[in-house]
Structure 1
């Protein structure tokens, strides 16, 4: 196997495997929290939903991409391609929308009393589920074109205006469909990214003012829970915007080309999946509840392994 293909395959394998593991751990931690405490804060509900969206993203794009890199062919028929591509498009869209929702909700949470945003704070818990439903319906509608253009790979040359994903082809058939789809997807993403950047900037401004006013309290207490949560949200936004920028630079290039090299498509897939791969580990390290559940599970497993070892030693 060519060295370049091997490196690419190992990179996708590690990214997909570690990403699936991390998001699964986050979901299991939140499932345990729901069972034991039977209630999640709005921010935790969004983080749980974000982990689910990122898990689906990795399963529907990272797994088949990795298998294709290692030479496995004919993975999906036309129907399978339509389901996988549609699921991937929705989960990718939900990833950006939920990160934006997380940023906006946190901005409302930390808004000072008397401001316009602070009036929305009591309504946040009741807005979470309707917002989830609205985001699902919005993205299902925007991504509805994807199944109609998706098909299993055909023998021979790849037609113009076709995204060659390796395991599936997305054939837009003409330049107009190709550009309209790209503009619709990119337009939605840029709107939500702009909104998350604006709300994160507002959060940073409030944190800066707050730190100047109560610096002594922060030094003695290390900051409140809202401050820690706000910093977590801002970091997630910065992480998303960074990889979103790389992803869209490649995507804009792809829109200008009639035939796109599989290497370019692979680059876009890898960078667009980096957020789904990295974000659960940041959530685990920064969210006290999730971290406590993970550490508790690790401690419970440790004595069992020690007892087993003692039994073998005897």
Structure 2
């Protein structure tokens, strides 16, 4: 294995390991809160779906890509190729959908009582809940297209009529068909991105107006600390902006890979890396801005160290 190939393999291994451990820790935290019968915030419930989508992305993109970069080729059969690519499409769609719903819900919650969206506050939980589950169903249906196009390579079969994605292959079509296929898969994502930008813009405007009102109030009547709603909104805005940046990079790479007749080795690797960036960063953004998660992770780490010390004393 050359030095460049080893470097790429180590990058994939690092991203996959960091993303899996970070998201699994967060999922463990929310499941602990749920099982202890504490009341989960509705934003936490949406974040659970986002975390599950991140874990699914790691398992269907990070793990196989890491295996292939270490030189273990042709390990997957037809069923495994179809399953991994379909589930990756589902995780990608659920990820953007969950981030969008999180942004829309927060924009509705912090909207002023006299705004046009104030009437949505009462039933927003119900609408968002249905939308999250519907998002899973829709992307499962969309991803079924991959069951037809994706396949494995058989022995010494020629790849002249196949488009290589390293561990799986897709049947080649004319450029017009590839463009239509990419446009069809991108249509729901574009809708979600528009909603995400609208809701994020609404939150920024609401925060700005709130800050302007605070400047006209007496300092004695205003706390120096921001409200929990404001802190939560800023965290969600940071999460959304990070997702939007990484998702845009990933989408451009995937679009090039779908349109190009023979995507190169570098493009395939960059596309896979881009899809792993947000799952790797997301849990640490939430941990650093959510004191509940930080305190849980710290207490869990302390308890683990204490139990290890106790076991050593007993031995």
TM over 0.5: yes
Instruction: Give distance in 1, aligned partners of 2:37 and 2:299.
Output: 16
Report the counterpart of residue 159 of structure 1 in structure 2: 160
Matches within 5 A, 1:127-138: 127-138=127-138
- Tell me the alpha carbon deviations over residues 181-210 of structure 1, each in whole angstroms, 9 at most, x when there is no partner: 211222322221121011101101111111
1:242 equivalenced with 2:238 (yes/no): no
Shift of the 221–34 alpha-carbon distance from structure 1 to 2, 3 Å rule, reads farther
Report the counterpart of residue 196 of structure 2 in structure 1: 196
Instruction: Give distance in 2, aligned partners of 1:171 and 1:193.
Output: 29
Higher mean C-alpha deviation, range 164-173 or range 60-69:
164-173
Higher mean C-alpha deviation, range 217-226 or range 261-270:
217-226
| Partners of 1:16 and 1:63 within 8 A in 2 | yes
Matches within 5 A, 1:1-314: 1-154=1-154, 155-159=156-160, 162=163, 164-215=164-215, 216=219, 220-310=223-313
Shift of the 104–310 alpha-carbon distance from structure 1 to 2, 3 Å rule, reads same
Instruction: Give distance in 1, aligned partners of 2:221 and 2:169.
Output: 54
| Partners of 2:172 and 2:261 within 8 A in 1 | no
Instruction: Give distance in 1, aligned partners of 2:123 and 2:244.
Output: 28
| Partners of 1:60 and 1:87 within 8 A in 2 | yes
State the 4+ residue runs in structure 1 displaced beyond 4 angstroms: 215-219, 308-312
- Tell me the alpha carbon deviations over residues 121-140 of structure 1, each in whole angstroms, 9 at most, x when there is no partner: 12133234311221012212
Shift of the 172–283 alpha-carbon distance from structure 1 to 2, 3 Å rule, reads farther
Q: Secondary structure at the match of 1:273?
A: helix
Shift of the 219–160 alpha-carbon distance from structure 1 to 2, 3 Å rule, reads farther
- Tell me the alpha carbon deviations over residues 90-147 of structure 1, each in whole angstroms, 9 at most, x when there is no partner: 0011111111111101100111112121211121332343112210122122222111
Higher mean C-alpha deviation, range 64-73 or range 116-125:
116-125
Instruction: Give distance in 1, aligned partners of 2:53 and 2:298.
Output: 24
Instruction: Give distance in 2, aligned partners of 1:217 and 1:106.
Output: 29
| Partners of 1:153 and 1:166 within 8 A in 2 | no
Q: Secondary structure at the match of 2:223?
A: helix
| Partners of 2:23 and 2:54 within 8 A in 1 | yes
- RMSD of the TM alignment (CA)? 2.0
Question: What displacement does 1:25 show?
Answer: 0.5
| Partners of 2:105 and 2:128 within 8 A in 1 | no
How many residues end up aligned between the 2 structures? 311
Q: Secondary structure at the match of 2:115?
A: coil
Instruction: Give distance in 2, aligned partners of 1:21 and 1:285.
Output: 16
Instruction: Give distance in 1, aligned partners of 2:313 and 2:11.
Output: 38
Instruction: Give distance in 2, aligned partners of 1:300 and 1:122.
Output: 41
Question: What displacement does 1:272 show?
Answer: 1.9
TM-score, L = length of structure 1:
0.92
| Partners of 1:76 and 1:168 within 8 A in 2 | yes
